[in-house]
Amino acid sequence: MAHDFSGVDTWVFDLDNTLYPHHLNLWEQVDARIREFIADFLKLTHDEAFRLQKDYYRRYGTSMRGLMTEHGMNPDDFLAFVHEIDHSPLEPNPALGEALEKLPGRKLILTNGTRAHADAVLQRLEIGRHFEDVFDIVAGELEPKPLPQTYDRFLARHGVEPVRAAMFEDLSRNLEVPHRLGMRTVLVVPEQTREVFREDWELEGRDAAHVDHVTDDLAGFLMRLR
């Protein structure tokens, strides 16, 4: 496994459900606030908002993109509202911090969330000092992963050579483009997936050709790369 990562000098990480355990369900808070925003914005019932939210998420990559495309929504209001959550379930993760510190090269975050949310997560985990920068949904010009142009913008902004980079994600579909570009890809999964607040379609693809490695222990996986 370590040989497969030889030559990697840039380590790219998704944020939510990748850098912290799935079972904390932090994203469930965001999910609920997205539903609340949609219900208020479009004057829908809770159930109607839920169905539309999941439909847009699947078709557009994020519910926000669907709302912008279909309804001309102002993304600033959406982003401010949905990321106003309680980050207290997150606790410091010294093992992950040690593993990141020992990785050779640069560490970057590529997320469909906001920088403010990423900063809050990194502060609670106490691993922020290990990362050079955060490329968020705003930096991606409000176009989310897995759209190819989002990865292109990320690579260009940070001068990343894909064949010398590795990408860690909790959604298989978000690894298709990185793999095609030449990046090593790692799918981060929970130990008890079915007990976590996830959609069935999100759990597909762990055996896909564009997934080079699968792990349910990110810190342990990174330590073994040494």
Q: Could you tell me the domains of the chain?
A: 3-21+89-224 (3.40.50.1000), 27-82 (1.10.150.450)
Q: Is it the case that residue 107 has pLDDT exceeding 60?
A: yes
Of 175, 164, 196, residue with least CA distance to 11: 164
> Cα dist. 16→7, 68, 103, 114 in Å?
27, 22, 21, 11
Q: Is pLDDT of 193 > 60?
A: no
Residue 159 vs residue 195, higher pLDDT: 159
Cβ burial of 160 (10 Å; 0-12, 13-18, 19+) is buried
Q: What is the pLDDT of residue 206?
A: 58
Q: Determine the Cα–Cα distance for residues 220 and 222; give it in Å rounded to an integer.
A: 5
This prediction has a pTM of 0.87
pLDDT on residue 198: 45
**β-strands 133-135, 106-110: how paired?**
parallel
